[in-house]
């Protein structure tokens, strides 16, 4: 699904008004009805709701929501922030409607002294600023945000917490932004919702559809997307009756070293659970019995070294190669990785120590075959590209890296993000904090490898693998607390995850 910038959303909004057609006041009412509906279903009408309305359409939404909630017998109070200019257009109309209705106590905030005290058991609806925010909060809005952040009331933000920008917050002061418990965003999540440092500002966020025009949504181009099952389900092939294991590719996994054989084991199992026809695990000699016993479905290619990866044989027979989990970074392993890069496998996924080695030898980066998939966690990514400050800047570096080296980068995290050399970005929507556990990344590498070997386009392999990996982790928490989740549970649930994506 597409993620648009707030500027694009405003344009889609205008197009909807003209093309549907719908009066802008009615579109605002549609948004307000969705928000009110959510509040009615989630709140008891014994809790007072205090609305803070700003000068623009975000404030207009808040005024309309207050009127609707009052119709449903909620006790509402509205504070309009006075910027010394009269309200215009739809916000002015909604102020008028609210006064006409006469059910809501109305107040104005003109100075710091008139900021009301907010009781702990109240609900605050934040309608100060939405997507029209033009600069970071200062003056009166900053003081209101500070007062709300100091209170213990439940805060529900309309569209976006006031003070947060939809995209680039690299120059923002996040301490000044209203901290919402819930953010009810209209029609599209904003880019900044996918960045970890905004989690505490957004609380839990939900997207409320307001019926913006589908044709303009499909025609508006954006590099930013988030992953949904609908968009990837057709990438998972239906297995043909007369197929055989040769139809589904032969993967080579280069993983494990003395003391880190588990990484090879987990990646192998995950690879096999992802539909690959054949898997050869290249492992140090000492790992032979372990892998053969624990993963009898895998064939083994045994390194001359007892301890680590130092060599590999002909790559001809393999449809994809994966390297990295548990390899270590010893000099002989580094040399072997260099030879692997020089052999230029057609389809390659690199993880963990393979990435750490690349960080030690950035001069090898140009050797990466086009469309190789790199799956760093944030620390590995930082070792590769250097520190990048906030997430928005980090996204720019990730994109630049993908474009410079023509590789797909899967940066693992709460919303794992995939960047492609063509400039597109995909944020994942599955997964949970229980997956922040040893071996979880090895499982992902195995899945990517299994899909690549089956002839998935590399970007599709990355997208499907990331989504399925997260979904399997979510399914694992149905019966098991997040705290107890281990990487093997993700593998156990992969079958059900693929089943659900295919549906
Ligand atoms: N998504 C949709 O299609 C719909 C969204 N709706 C709501 O509209 C807002 C966006 O409204 P807009 O009027 O463009 O902007 P704001 O309400 O965020 O505020 C603009 C207002 O505030 C002034 N301003 C901006 N920044 C500051 C600042 N830092 N300090 C002081 N004043 C500031 C600016 O000059 C303007 O006067 C969207 O978020 C939704 O909530 C529609 O209601 C339905 C369709
Ligand atoms: K808001």
- Tell me the pairing of strands 373-374 and 425-427: unpaired
| pLDDT confidence of residue 392 | 97
- Counting from 1 in the atom list of ligand 1, the atom nearest the Cα of 129 is 18
Give, for all 503 residues of the chain, the pLDDT tens digit: 999 999 999 999 999 999 999 999 999 999 999 999 999 999 999 999 999 999 999 999 999 999 999 999 999 999 999 999 999 999 999 999 999 999 999 999 999 999 999 999 999 999 999 999 999 999 999 999 999 999 999 999 999 999 999 999 999 999 999 999 999 999 999 999 999 999 999 999 999 999 999 999 999 999 999 999 999 999 998 988 888 878 899 999 999 999 999 999 999 999 999 999 999 999 999 999 999 999 999 999 999 999 999 999 899 999 999 999 999 999 999 999 999 999 999 999 999 999 999 999 999 999 999 999 999 999 999 999 999 889 999 999 999 999 999 999 999 999 999 999 999 999 999 999 999 999 999 999 999 999 999 999 999 999 999 999 999 999 999 999 999 999 999 999 999 999 999 98
Pocket residue to mutate for ligand 1, from 10, 130, 178, most atoms within 8 A of Cβ: 130
User: Which CATH number, 3.90.1150.10, 3.40.1190.20, 1.25.40.340, 3.90.650.10, labels domain 229-502?
Assistant: 3.40.1190.20
pLDDT of residue 245: 77
Best mutation site among 10, 29, 134, 145 for ligand 1, i.e. most ligand atoms within 8 A of its Cβ? 134
Whole-number Cα distances in Å, 128 to 78, 80, 90, 195: 12, 9, 15, 22
Ligand nearest, relative to CA of residue 90? 1
- What residues does each domain of the chain span? 6-222, 229-502
Closest ligand 1 atom to the C-alpha of 13?
Answer: 3
Q: Whose CA is nearest to atom 11 of ligand 1?
A: 57
Q: What is the pLDDT of residue 388?
A: 85
- What's the pLDDT score for residue 242? 87
d(CA 395, CA 388): 9
- What pLDDT score was predicted for residue 285? 96
pLDDT of residue 313: 86
Cβ proximity of 458 and 488 under 8 Å: no
For the Cβ of 58 lying below 6 angstroms from any atom of ligand 1, the answer is yes
Indicate whether residue 60 lines ligand 1 (CB < 6 A).
yes
| 29 within ligand 1 shell (Cβ under 6 A) | no
Nearest protein CA to atom 45 of ligand 1, as residue: 28
Q: Would the annotation count 132 as a binding residue? A: yes
- Check whether the bond before 64 is cis (ω within 30° of 0): no
The per-residue DSSP string of 26-89 comes to HHHHHHHHHHHHHHHHHS-TTS-EEEEE-SSHHHHHHHHHHHHHHHTT--EEEEEE--SS---H
Q: Is the CB of 56 under 6 A from ligand 1?
A: yes
Whose alpha carbon is nearest atom 43 of ligand 1?
28
Output the pLDDT for position 298.
98
CA atoms of 280 and 221, how far apart (whole Å): 42
Q: Is the CB–ligand 1 distance for residue 130 below 6 Å? A: yes
Query: Which of 4, 20, 26, 57 most suits a substitution to test ligand 1, by most atoms within 8 Å of the C-beta?
Result: 57
Decide whether any atom of ligand 1 lies within 6 Å of the 137 Cβ. Answer: yes
What does the alpha-carbon distance between residue 405 and residue 169 come to, in Å, rounded to a whole number? 27
Number of H helices, E strands in the chain: 18, 17
Work out the number of other CB atoms within 10 angstroms of the CB of residue 366: 10
CATH class for the region spanning 6-222: alpha beta
């Amino acid at each position: 699904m597409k993620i648009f910038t707030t500027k694009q959303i405003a344009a889609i909004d205008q197009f909807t008004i003209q093309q549907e057609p719908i009066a802008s006041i009615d579109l605002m009412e549609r948004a307000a009805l969705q928000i009110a509906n959510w509040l009615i279903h989630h709140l008891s009408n014994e809790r007072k709701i205090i609305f803070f309305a700003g000068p623009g359409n975000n404030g207009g939404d808040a005024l309309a929501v207050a009127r609707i909630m009052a119709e449903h017998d909620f006790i509402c109070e509205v504070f309009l922030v006075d910027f010394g200019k009269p309200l215009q257009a739809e916000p002015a109309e909604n102020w008028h409607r609210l006064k006409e209705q006469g059910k809501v106590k109305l107040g104005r905030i003109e100075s710091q002294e008139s900021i009301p005290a907010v009781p702990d058991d109240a609900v605050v609806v934040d309608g100060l600023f939405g997507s029209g925010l033009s600069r970071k909060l200062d003056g009166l809005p900053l003081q209101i945000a500070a007062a709300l952040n100091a209170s213990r009331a439940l805060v529900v933000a309309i569209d976006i917490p006031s003070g947060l920008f939809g995209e680039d917050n690299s120059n923002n002061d996040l301490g000044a932004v209203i901290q919402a418990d819930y953010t009810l965003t209209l029609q599209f999540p904003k880019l900044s919702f996918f960045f970890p440092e905004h989690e505490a500002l957004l609380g839990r966020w939900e997207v409320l559809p307001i019926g913006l025009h589908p044709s303009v949504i499909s025609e508006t181009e954006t590099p930013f997307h988030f992953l949904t099952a609908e968009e990837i389900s057709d990438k998972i092939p239906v297995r043909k009756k007369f197929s055989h294991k040769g139809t589904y590719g032969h993967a080579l996994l280069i993983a494990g070293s003395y003391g880190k054989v588990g990484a090879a084991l987990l990646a192998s199992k995950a690879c096999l659970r992802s539909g690959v026809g054949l898997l050869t695990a290249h492992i140090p000699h000492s790992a032979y019995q372990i892998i053969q016993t624990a993963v009898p479905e895998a064939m083994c290619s045994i390194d001359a070294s007892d301890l680590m990866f130092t060599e590999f044989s002909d790559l001809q027979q393999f449809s994809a190669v994966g390297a990295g989990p548990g390899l270590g970074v010893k000099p002989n392993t580094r040399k072997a990785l260099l030879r692997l890069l020089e052999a230029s496998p057609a389809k390659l996924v690199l993880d963990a120590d393979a990435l750490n080695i690349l960080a030690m030898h950035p001069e090898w980066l140009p050797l990466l075959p086009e469309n190789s998939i790199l799956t760093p966690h944030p620390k590995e990514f930082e070792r590769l590209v250097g520190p990048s400050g906030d997430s928005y800047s980090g996204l720019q570096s990730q994109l630049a890296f993908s474009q410079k080296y023509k590789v797909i980068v899967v940066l693992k995290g709460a919303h794992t993000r995939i960047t492609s050399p063509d400039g597109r970005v995909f944020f994942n929507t599955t997964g949970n904090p229980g997956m922040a556990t040893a071996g979880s990344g090895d499982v992902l590498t195995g899945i990517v490898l299994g899909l690549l070997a089956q002839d998935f386009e590399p970007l599709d392999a990355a997208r499907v693998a990331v989504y399925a990996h997260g979904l399997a982790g979510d399914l694992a928490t149905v019966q098991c607390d997040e705290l107890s989740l281990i990487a093997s549970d993700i593998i156990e649930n992969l079958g059900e995850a693929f089943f659900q994506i295919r549906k």
